[in-house]
Amino acid sequence: MTKSQTFRTAMLSVLLIALLLAGLVPAGAAYQATTAPPSEKVAVLRLPSGGYWGHPSPFGFNRGPGYLRASLIFDTLVWRDASGETIPWLATDWSLSADEMTWTFTLREGVQWQDGTPFTAEDVVFSIQYYLDHPGTAWFMAQVDPIASAAQVGEHQVAITLKQPFAPFLQTTAEALLIFPRHVWENVADPKTYTGEGAFTGTGAYRLVEYSQAEGAYLFEANPDFFLGDPYVQRIEFVPTSDNYLALLNGDIAAFDQFGGVTEEMLAPFADAPYEVRFAPGEWGMLLYFNLEKDTPLRDARVRQAIAHAVDRAAMVERVLFGFGEAGSPGFLPPANPFYNPDVPDYAYDPERARALLAEAGYDGTPLKLTYSTDWIMASPRVVEIIESGLNAAGIPVEHVVMDQATMDAATAEGTYEMAVVGFGGLGGDPDQLRRSFASSSPLRGFARALGYSNPDFDALAGAQLGMTDPQARREAVYAMQTILAEDLPVLPLYYTARVVVFNAAVFDNWTYTPGGWGGGIPMPYNKHQFIVGTPTGLAIRE
Amino acid sequence: MIREALRLPGASAAPAHPPRRLRALLGGEGIAGLLLLLALIALAVFAPLLAPYDPDAFSGRPLERPSAAHRLGTNDVGQDILSELIYGARISLTVAASAAAGTVVLAVLIGGAAGYAGGWLDLALMRLVDMILALPRLPLLILVNALLGAGLGTMILTIALLSWPPTARVIRAQVQSVRQRGYVRMARGFGGGPLYLFARHILPQIAPLIVFGLVTAAGHAVALEAGLAFLGLGDPTAKSWGLMMRYALNLPGLLLTDRWLWWLLPPGVCVTLLVLALALIGIGLESRLDARLKQR
């Protein structure tokens, strides 16, 4: 402790001096002096790492930030630009058959793996077949289960056949499934842990130089042989930071993003050039999952509804997000999603009503276990305080089960919890996620999956909307699905965080939130397209 | 007289006037530490009377600046920081007291057994002492808390399990010396059993060491608890001073405003004061004990 106090004191003194200096030196002066003229490429882009997100092989990464790292090395058939348009990537052209069952992709010619081996249609077929043969190996936002088979149909053509028409195929499958080299992975026995030769060889714009599990640091450098040309950002470093706001002011990083919990006071230091701030609405949610596989009072919908009445979601928006976000909709999808149904049944904060519902359900005061992580990025301890005080007021005792984020992700996948506070992004993406999380036949396992929930009406709608290419019909089906979820409450969404990216425009200025997210729906402002090309749209690399 | 000089203060034959005895035992710095400790204990005991609000209640808007209603403002969820600070004394002192008690019980049992029995038991126990002494404490605590899950009970237990060796070693030496003394050997000759001898003759001789062990263990426990909570490894529901600091620093850009003055600094000062109080008592005790031992 004496050590950390000395450290604290030193930090504070350094800070005081920094503040004094900040008044004397124009902000960003140091940067303008060292940064190359704007006509040249960005030499180094340093970003906050936020922890260790696994190793960036196609199978070794965790969550969205992990996918980001892997996506720098590995490519997908198509990608998405800052306008939300699907753009050519490994495939230059794609088409859907008249019966809506087969997608045909024409692959780019002359693409090479980073080890010099030519990229071929065989690699694509192998990758997709591999995901089909090894369920659970694909990125959780990438949908494999609608695919029936993949086959090479020409020298540079691949056909992907579906089990049934699948409306969101491009965004949730073609834009999200990472393609990896056959000559490396066909001999690997355990893909998740493999870090040997070729594990980090992709077709991508960046090569992995090194990564450190202990520090959560990752270092990538541009691949000059990349198929679109030499990338605009030449080097991307993910570095550990303690306070992103200080780190940005100190020039240790070039940008950071945050989900919720922002105040004007915090953003005040970034009001003037070279800093800029950009906002986006909430696609990242904090949700209360009820495990209905376990024999607990939670199996009674009235108990879950009582909890919805007991938990003050408006207070969370005020006290956890400082107003920077929105209260959860019982229908799961956030207002930022184009398919959001604003008219689902809601549960106003009403402890009296909660007690009445509990009495009606014959709840006997059994304590309920609440699982959550102490990972501070997730801000869940504060959320837990508000949940607990609400449940206690309604007469529900709460037992705490505390874990770190990785253990927690495993526990939510295995279903060893009763109630869990789970946070994840992508809720603004395609509404087929409702089927994946809630349909009783969904093969998805992982933190987004609602366990033990089964409603035949919901299942029927979930199956039907998949093949609906008429937007109006699909919207109606998805609206009805949200109404059912709001009544059954297998999950209680607590809040959706608004998003903000703060950056030093003198280092790099091309920051956007991709509409609907990238990589299948990742709501972070780190779409690799903007680093590679340097502009919001198009494939020509900025000079 | 040599025999008299060897006697430790706790076993002094003719009790002096109590305050003077206290002063003789603790010295000026020790008394200052004791007063400070008593003040912090009073803070913990009378927390419900002293604190303006329930520390868990959302008594204000989030991130209020200090005002008449909230002397130290409110934290990120709108709880009164002053009330949190006052109630925080309870956690720190509970950890200090329980971990110290656990440490000393282990130290007396193990050090006493080793010193009294001697032989292979002594050898085995002292090697165990060496082993645990060689372990780095904070990293090990971080590991244990990460594996067993964060909880106040686990934390107290692990602190006790890791902190007994230095005290046990001192107690063993003292027990060894006491059991060789004539009156102890005589008592044994008259048929006194080990438990009787230990309680009647040995315990009074090691009493000052026990007090000293208690004080130093308590100081370490406070610092370890604050450190773990600060690192986010403490019990997230037990709002100690360390956890308050963790929450304060969890607010992005905290150090860019003057907010740290009323949110981060006060719990830091409180931890420092408590550790200082215990350290002062320890220093006071130690120098008096040393003085006695040097007369040998």
Pick from A256, A319, A398 the residue to mutate for testing the B interface (most B CBs within 10 Å): A319
Which residues of B lie closer than 8 Å to A, measured between beta carbons? 56, 58, 61-63, 76-78, 146, 149-151, 222-224, 226-227, 230, 232-233, 235-237, 246-247, 249-257, 260, 268, 271-272, 275
Number of other residues whose CB lies within 10 A of the CB of residue A271:
11
Of 3.10.105.10, 3.40.1360.10, 3.30.2320.50, 3.30.450.20, which CATH number belongs to A281-497? 3.10.105.10
Residue A304 has pLDDT above 70, yes or no: yes
Q: Kindly report, residue by residue over A109-151, the tens digit of the pLDDT.
A: 999 999 999 999 999 999 999 999 998 899 988 999 899 999 9
- Confidence (pTM): 0.79
Q: Does A389 touch chain B (CB under 8 A)?
A: yes
Q: Give the distance from CA A208 to its chain's centroid.
A: 21
Name, in order, each residue with C-beta under 8 angstroms of B258's C-beta and a sequence gap of 6 or more: none
Same fold, A45-232+507-533 and A281-497: no
Q: Kindly report, residue by residue over A191-235, the tens digit of the pLDDT.
A: 999 999 999 999 999 999 999 998 999 999 999 999 999 999 999
Contact B58/A315, CB-based, under 8 Å? yes
Q: How confident is the model at residue B292 (pLDDT cuts 50, 70, 90)?
A: low
Q: How confident is the model at residue A467 (pLDDT cuts 50, 70, 90)?
A: confident
Q: Could you identify the residue written with the tokens 């007396």?
A: B108
Q: Kindly report, residue by residue over A534-543, the tens digit of the pLDDT.
A: 999 999 998 8
Residue ranges per structural domain of chain A: 45-232+507-533, 281-497
Fold of A45-232+507-533: D-Maltodextrin-Binding Protein; domain 2 (3.40.190)
Q: Are A529 and A82 a contacting pair, CB within 8 Å?
A: yes
> Average pLDDT of A446-452?
91
Mean pLDDT rounded to a whole number for chain A: 89
Q: Which residue has the higher pLDDT, A349 or B148?
A: A349
d(CA B76, CA A495): 17
Percentage of chain A beyond pLDDT 70 is 92
**Shortest alpha-carbon distance between residue A268 and chain B (Å):** 10
DSSP annotation string for B74-121:
B-TTS-BHHHHHHHHHHHHHHHHHHHHHHHHHHHHHHHHHHHHH-HHH
Q: Pairing state of beta strands A368-373 and A398-403?
A: parallel
Q: How confident is the model at residue B293 (pLDDT cuts 50, 70, 90)?
A: low
Confidence (pLDDT) at B296: 44
Q: Are A325 and A306 a contacting pair, CB within 8 Å?
A: no
Q: Kindly report, residue by residue over B108-157, the tens digit of the pLDDT.
A: 999 999 998 888 999 999 999 999 888 887 788 778 777 776 678 888 88
B-chain residues near A374 (CB < 8 A): 150, 232-233, 236
Q: Kindly report, residue by residue over B71-82, the tens digit of the pLDDT.
A: 999 998 899 999
**Shortest alpha-carbon distance between residue B50 and chain A (Å):** 23
Q: Return the SS3 of A233.
A: strand
ipTM of the shown complex: 0.71
Q: Could you identify the residue written with the tokens 């960005």?
A: A42
Pick from B255, B258, B261, B273 the residue to mutate for testing the A interface (most A CBs within 10 Å): B255
A-chain residues near B223 (CB < 8 A): 1-2
Q: Kindly report, residue by residue over A284-298, the tens digit of the pLDDT.
A: 999 999 999 999 999
